[in-house]
Structure 1
Amino acid sequence: MKLRTRLFIFSSVFLIALPVLGYYFIGEIQQSLLQGQEKTQSMTASTIATVVRGYTDLFDTDEDALYVYPLRLNVDIDGYSTLGEDWHGFEGRLSSAENDAFSLLLLDDAQFLYAYIRVEDDDIIYRNPRYVPLDSSDHIRLEYIDPEGHVQRLVLLAEGQGNVSVYEVNDDWQSWKNGHHVNAVYGVWHETDAGYDVELRLPIKWLQRRRMSISVVSVFGENERYPDTIVSTRKLKSDTLNPLLFRSREINTRFENFTEASSQICIIDKYRRVRAVIGGDEKGSSLCQSTDKVSDDLVEKVLSGKIETRRIVKGEKTLIIAAHPVFKDNRVVGAVLVSDSDSQILSQQRDTLLAVLFASLTLALLVFVSLLAFSSWLTFRINRLNVQTSALIDDSGRFISNIDLSDNRHRDELGELSRGFSVLLDKLNNYTRFLESMPGMLRHEILNPVNTLSLSLQHLQDQGASDRMSDSTGSIDIADNAIL
C-alpha cells in the first residue's frame, strides 16, 4: 500500500471520528443544560410558592365556583357568530350545569363580564305580552351581590330571536321592581338546532363581591306557561351564590418579570383550578393558559405535598415542568407550576451543532488538502531521490556522474536518508575506483625487475628452513635489505 493511500485512510478515519465525537458531546451538554434548567425552574417554583402563601384569597374558594377566563380580544355580542370565531377558540371550555341542560362560558376584561350560555331545549316558548308574570316564558335568571352586599336579581327574556329584554325583579321572579329595562346589560338570543344560545355582557364593577349565579328556566305549555324546569349553577337547596373565580391580576403583575418568552408560571388551587398565569402565550402553551383546570395526572403528586419535576415530550419539543406545593397551616392549599420548553436549549444545540459541523467540514477540507499536498510533496521527494540515485550508476555498475543529491540540504528524515545515501555511494565510488586501478598497479609491480628480485628473495627466505640453506640465510637477508 502506497504512503499516500495510508495517509488518506488515516486522515479519513480521523475526520469522520471528529464530528461523531462532537455530536456525542453536544448530546451530553444538552442533558446537562436540561438538568440545570430543571433545577432553576424548581428553585423558581419554590420561591413563588413561599411568596403566594400570603394571598389567601387565591386558595380560599369553594369547589362550585364559576371560572372566569381572561379576555384577550374583543367579543361581538351578536348571537350569530360561531363560538370558535367570536369567542376566540374557547370551544370545549364550557362548563356544564346539571344533566347538561345548559353550558356556560364566562370571560372578563377591565370593564365587562361576558357570558355565553348554550341551552338545550326542543320546545322554546317566547314571551307573550298578554301574560303579565315575567316567568311565563323561557328565560334566564341572573343573581349577583352588588358592592353594597345586597342580592340583585335580573331576568333575561325575549319575544323572539334578537336582543333580550333585561329587568330587575323581586324575589318571586314574577314582577319587576320599576318596569324599566336595564340598559347596562346587553344580550342577544339566537336559536340553534338543539335549543338556543344567549350572549350577554354586564358591567364588571357590579361584581366586586365576586358572587353570581345563573339559572335557566323552561316553562310548560304554550297556554299553561308555568315554570317547569329550573337548572342553576348553584348547588341544590343552597341559598349561597356561586363564587366567581377570576385569575389574579395582582399576581400576574407582581411576577411578570420572573418569566421569559418561552416560560410560564401557573398557580393552581387544591381543586386544580388555575388562579394565575404569568408569561407564555395562548397558542404556544397548553399547560394553563386556555383551561380552567390542569390535568390530574400532572399535579396529583404535588397536591399531595411532593416536589416534582418532569419532562413532557410534545412532538419535537420537550416541556419541562417543575411543581412545588403551597402550604398553609401544614396543609396543601395549592401548587406553583413553572414550565418551559427546551426550544432555547435546542436552538443553542442546533447552532452549536451547525458550528461544529461547519468547523469540522472546514477542518476536514484543510486537513485533506494539507495531507494531499504533504503526501504529494513527500512522494515527489522520494521519487526524485530514487531517480537521482538510479541515474548515478549505469547498467555496468559504473558511476557516470558526481554524487550530488537534491535532498542533502534538507534537515528532515528524507534529508538524513539522502545524506546517508551520499556517504554510502561515495564509499562505493571510491572502492570502485580502487578496483579499477588495481590491474594497472599489479602490472606495474610485476614488470618492475627490482620487485621481481625482491619477491624471489622473499620466496627463498620463506623456504630457508632446511639445514643446507641455513648458512646462506644471512647472505639473503643482507641482499634483501640492500634491495629495499
Structure 2
Amino acid sequence: MKRFRYGFGIRSKLVLLSGLLLTIPWLGYEYVSEMEKFLRQGQEKTLAGTARAVATALHDRPKLFDVADATVGHSDVYVRSLPASIQLDGRLDDWNEHGDFARSYGEGDLLENSAVHTPASLSFSHNVGRLGKYLYAMFLVNDNHIVLRSTKSPRVDRGDHLRVAIATRDSGFTRYAVTLAEGGAIAAYQLASGLDTTQVVRVETRLRGVWRPTEQGYNLEIRVPISMIGTRVGFAVADVDNDGTHEIEAVIGTSGTDTIEELARVFIPSSEIELILKGLMRTTSRIWVVDARHRVLAQAGSLKGQDRTDRIAIAPPTGLMHVLQRAEEQVLRPVYARVLRQPTDDFRDELSEASQLAGREIAGALSGSLTTRWRLTSDNRAVILSAAHPIWIDDQVMGAVVVEETTNAILTVKNLALERLFTIILAVFLIGALTLFIFAARISSRIRRLRDEAERAIDAQGRFRGVMARSRASDEIGDLSRSFSSIMDKLHQYTGYLESMATRLSHELRTPIAVVRSSLDNLKLQPLPDEARVYMERAQDGLARLTSILTSMSEATRLEQILQNSERERFDLCKVVAGCVEGYKAAYTPRAIELRLPGQTVWLNGAPDLIAQLLDKLIENAIDFSRANSVIVVEIGLDAADAYLRVINQGPPLPKEMQERLFESMVSIRPHKGSSEPHLGLGLYIVRLIAGFHGGQAYAQNHHDPAGVAVTVKLPIIEVEEKSHNWTAHTQVS
C-alpha cells in the first residue's frame, strides 16, 4: 500500500531559498524611499525660494502694512474676499457657497434690555465680505415678532432696525439706522451726532440692502462702499415687539455703537498685495501674506486642484510589453490603488479661509529667519509643506510670506516608480518561480518514482515482486537508482535462498529420516532388554516429531506454489462452510460448535478447497485456545460488498502487541506444556495466504461477550441470492 510522507521536501527547500530573492523588492523600495527624500528636499528648497522671491517684492513698502494698533481683540471684524458677487435678495444661499464663517450673537452680546430676553425673542448670525469696491454684510435674525416702522412716524427707532456705526478714514464717527419697510425694501438714514439722539440728518443712498421674512424672524443683506469704512465698525440689531408703544425692548450688537471707542476694529485685506501675489503666484502653490499680528493681509492660489501628471506619457509599447502593460492596468493597478496611498485633493483644508495664521514656521519668520514645516492635514489624507520668509521694512520685521504646497506631485512620482518596480519584479519572480517549480517538480517526481519502484519491488509480506529498473540518467538521482537496483538484486537472491531452504532441508532430511526409521523398525523386531526398549521408544517419538516439523515446513511452501497455479471457480461460501462444520462433528467430539449462516446464497470467486483448508486452521486454533466445554461459534456476516467468515472461541484474550503480528510466519503464542505436537506458528500464516489469494484479509480481535477471541476473514463477494427456504440458523454439535 502506498504511504504518503510529509516533510520538508526539495520543492519546499527551493521555495525557501527563492524567498531570499524577496530582498530585491525591499532594496527597490528603499531606493524609491531615498528618491522621495531627495524630491522632498528639492521641493523644500524650491518653496523656500518662492517665499524669498515674494517677500523681496514686498520689502520696504510700509504703506502695505498697518503698523498701528498692535493688539488683537476678540470682536475684531475680518473682511474676507468673496470669489463671486452677492445678490441682494434676502436669500442667504450665495453666502453658504462661500463657506460657513458667520458668527453668532445672543444674550452675551446684549447692549440694551428692558424685558425678559430669550434666544427666540432676539439673536442673530452675522458675516461680512468684500468684492471689488463694496463691503457686503448679512444678518440672519431670530425675532419672534417683527414690527415695522410706520412711514408716518418721525422717529427711525419705532420699529425693528439695524444700527451701523463707522469710524471714518479721517477719524470721524458716523452712525446710521437701517429700517425695514414693506415689500422687503430698506431705508438707511444718517443720524446726528450724540449718544441718545435719533435725529435724522439725511437719507443715506449709498447704503443699500434687502430684507426677507422667515419662519424664525428675517434675513437682512446690505452693501456699503469700501470708501465709507475706516478702521472701526459696529453693527447692532434693535428689537421692537409692542405694536402699540413701539418701544425698543432689546439690542444685541457685534460691539457697542454709541462711541468710537466701543467699535470693533475692521480688517480688510490689502487689494494691492493681492495684485502683487497674482503676478508671482504659482499654480501649484498657495501664498499668504501676514502681518506682525498674524493677520492675513492677502491670500492667493489653492492647494486643491493642482496640476500634476499622474502618468508619464511614453510611446505605446508593442508585442509582449503591450500585453504586460494591459495586464498591469487591468489587474495590478487596482491592487496598487488599494495598497499604495494615492494623492488626493479631497482633504480637509482648515486654513483655506483663515483670517489669522499661526505655526512654527510663521513664528520663525516673524523672528527674522526663513523657516519650513511639514504637517499632516487633520484628516491625515495629505501632507502640506510650508515655507515662511520674513518681510523687512528698514530693520524691522513687519510680516511674513507663507508659501504652501502639498506633496501630491512627489507622491504621484513615488507611486509610479513603485508600480513600475514591483511590476517588473513580479514578472521576474513569476518567471523564476515557474522555472524553479518545474525544476523542483522534475526532481521530486524522479525521487517519487524511485520510491514507488522500491515499494513495488517488495509486497506487504516482504516478498519480492520484481526487480527495479535501472535509470540511465547521469546525475546523482540516476546513480542512486542504479545503487538501489543492485541492492534489490542481491536481496532478491538471498531471500530466494532463504525461501527455498525449507524445501531443501525437507528433501535432504527425508532420506536420513527414512534410514533411521527403517533401522528402528528392524531393531524393534530384535529381542531387547527392557531398559534398551525405553530408549528405542524415545527415539521413535523424536523421529515422529521431526517428521511432523518437516511436514509443517513444507506445507506453507507447497501452499504458495498451489496458490500460484490454482484455478478459480464460482462457489457458494455458505455451502462450503456448512459441509466443513458437519465434518468437525465427529473430529472434535464432544466439543460444541455453533454455526450461524445468513438466509442467502453467498457466491465467491476462488477455490473452495482452499477455503476449507482456511477453516480447518481456524478451527484447530480455536480448539487449542478455547476453554473446556465452551462453545465455538462459526458465523458468516454480510455487507454490501464483502462476506465475513468469523470463528469465535471462549478463552484467554490476545495480547495487544500480538494482534498485528499473529498472522506472520513462525509466530505462535502457545505456552509450552510438553505437548507431543510441535507448533511452528504457520497455521494463521496459511490463513492469511489463502485470504490474500481470494482478495481478502484476515485479522483477530478480542471478543467481550463472551470473553474470548474472534478471528475474522474478510472476503469479497460477487453475488448474493435469496434462498427459497432459510438455512438452519444454529447447528449445535454436542
Does the 8 Å CA contact 2:54/2:280 hold for their aligned counterparts? no
Change in 2 beyond 3 A, CA 1:127/1:224 = closer
Q: How many Å apart are 1:216 and its aligned residue? A: 1.5
Does the 8 Å CA contact 1:116/1:200 hold for their aligned counterparts? yes
| Match of residue 128 from structure 1 | 150
Does the 8 Å CA contact 1:95/1:105 hold for their aligned counterparts? no
Does the 8 Å CA contact 1:170/1:177 hold for their aligned counterparts? yes
From 247, 253, 257, the counterpart of 1:225:
247
SS in 2 for 1:51: helix
Letter in 1 for 2:65: F
Change in 2 beyond 3 A, CA 1:305/1:257 = same
Equivalenced residues, count? 385
| Match of residue 375 from structure 2 | 312
From 274, 284, 292, the counterpart of 2:355:
292
TM-score (norm 2): 0.44
| Match of residue 47 from structure 2 | 41
Change in 2 beyond 3 A, CA 1:237/1:300 = farther
- 1:323 lines up with 2:420 in the alignment: no
Q: Distance in 1 between matches of 2:303 and 2:183?
A: 36
| Match of residue 404 from structure 2 | 339
| Match of residue 275 from structure 1 | 297
Q: Distance in 1 between matches of 2:279 and 2:143?
A: 48
| Match of residue 76 from structure 1 | 87
Does the 8 Å CA contact 2:149/2:160 hold for their aligned counterparts? yes
Change in 2 beyond 3 A, CA 1:178/1:322 = closer
Does the 8 Å CA contact 1:214/1:232 hold for their aligned counterparts? yes
- 1:361 lines up with 2:367 in the alignment: no
| Match of residue 128 from structure 2 | 106
Q: Please list, as runs of the form range in 1=range in 2, the aligned pairs for 1:10-409 lying within 5 A after superposition.
A: 10-14=17-21, 16-60=22-66, 62=69, 63=72, 66-81=77-92, 86-94=95-103, 99-101=108-110, 103-110=125-132, 112-119=134-141, 125-143=147-165, 154-159=176-181, 162-171=184-193, 174-177=198-201, 182=205, 185-191=208-214, 193=216, 196-204=218-226, 206-207=227-228, 210-211=230-231, 213-218=233-238, 223=245, 225=247, 229=251, 231=253, 233=255, 237-238=259-260, 244-256=266-278, 258-280=280-302, 286=349, 288-295=351-358, 299-305=362-368, 307-314=370-377, 315-368=380-433, 384-385=473-474
Q: How many Å apart are 1:156 and its aligned residue? A: 0.9
Q: Distance in 2 between matches of 1:272 and 1:190?
A: 39
SS in 2 for 1:365: helix
Show CA shifts across 1:231-276 (max 9, x none). 4646874369766533334333333365544421111122222111
Does the 8 Å CA contact 2:105/2:252 hold for their aligned counterparts? no
Q: Distance in 1 between matches of 2:432 and 2:206?
A: 83
Q: Distance in 1 between matches of 2:249 and 2:139?
A: 19
SS in 1 for 2:410: helix
Q: Distance in 2 between matches of 1:263 and 1:22?
A: 31
Unaligned runs of at least 5 residues, structure 2: 1-7, 111-123, 305-345, 447-470, 487-734
Q: Distance in 1 between matches of 2:254 and 2:442?
A: 94
Letter in 1 for 2:20: V
Q: Distance in 1 between matches of 2:143 and 2:361?
A: 37
Q: Distance in 1 between matches of 2:236 and 2:257?
A: 14
Q: How many Å apart are 1:136 and its aligned residue? A: 2.9
Q: Distance in 1 between matches of 2:257 and 2:42?
A: 47
Unaligned runs of at least 5 residues, structure 1: 396-484
SS in 2 for 1:346: helix
RMSD over aligned Cα atoms: 4.4
Q: Distance in 1 between matches of 2:281 and 2:423?
A: 34
Does the 8 Å CA contact 1:263/1:339 hold for their aligned counterparts? yes
Q: How many Å apart are 1:342 and its aligned residue? A: 1.4
Q: How many Å apart are 1:355 and its aligned residue? A: 0.8
Q: Distance in 2 between matches of 1:21 and 1:364?
A: 15
Show CA shifts across 1:295-331 (max 9, x none). 4677455445554322222213212222233343544
Does the 8 Å CA contact 2:51/2:401 hold for their aligned counterparts? yes
Q: Distance in 2 between matches of 1:350 and 1:305?
A: 38
Change in 2 beyond 3 A, CA 1:56/1:103 = farther
Q: How many Å apart are 1:228 and its aligned residue? A: 6.7
Change in 2 beyond 3 A, CA 1:121/1:6 = closer
Letter in 2 for 1:17: T
Change in 2 beyond 3 A, CA 1:23/1:260 = farther
Q: Distance in 2 between matches of 1:143 and 1:232?
A: 11
SS in 1 for 2:353: coil
Q: Distance in 1 between matches of 2:254 and 2:102?
A: 18
Q: How many Å apart are 1:155 and its aligned residue? A: 2.4
Show CA shifts across 1:133-165 (max 9, x none). 123333223355789998765421114683322
Question: Which of 1 and 2 has greater Rg?
Answer: 2
SS in 2 for 1:76: coil
Change in 2 beyond 3 A, CA 1:228/1:170 = same
Letter in 1 for 2:385: I
TM-score (norm 1): 0.64
Q: Distance in 2 between matches of 1:271 and 1:184?
A: 31
Change in 2 beyond 3 A, CA 1:12/1:160 = same
Does the 8 Å CA contact 1:135/1:227 hold for their aligned counterparts? no
Change in 2 beyond 3 A, CA 1:318/1:53 = same
| Match of residue 723 from structure 2 | none
Q: Distance in 2 between matches of 1:25 and 1:335?
A: 37
SS in 1 for 2:39: helix
**Identical pairs, percent:** 23
Change in 2 beyond 3 A, CA 1:265/1:199 = same
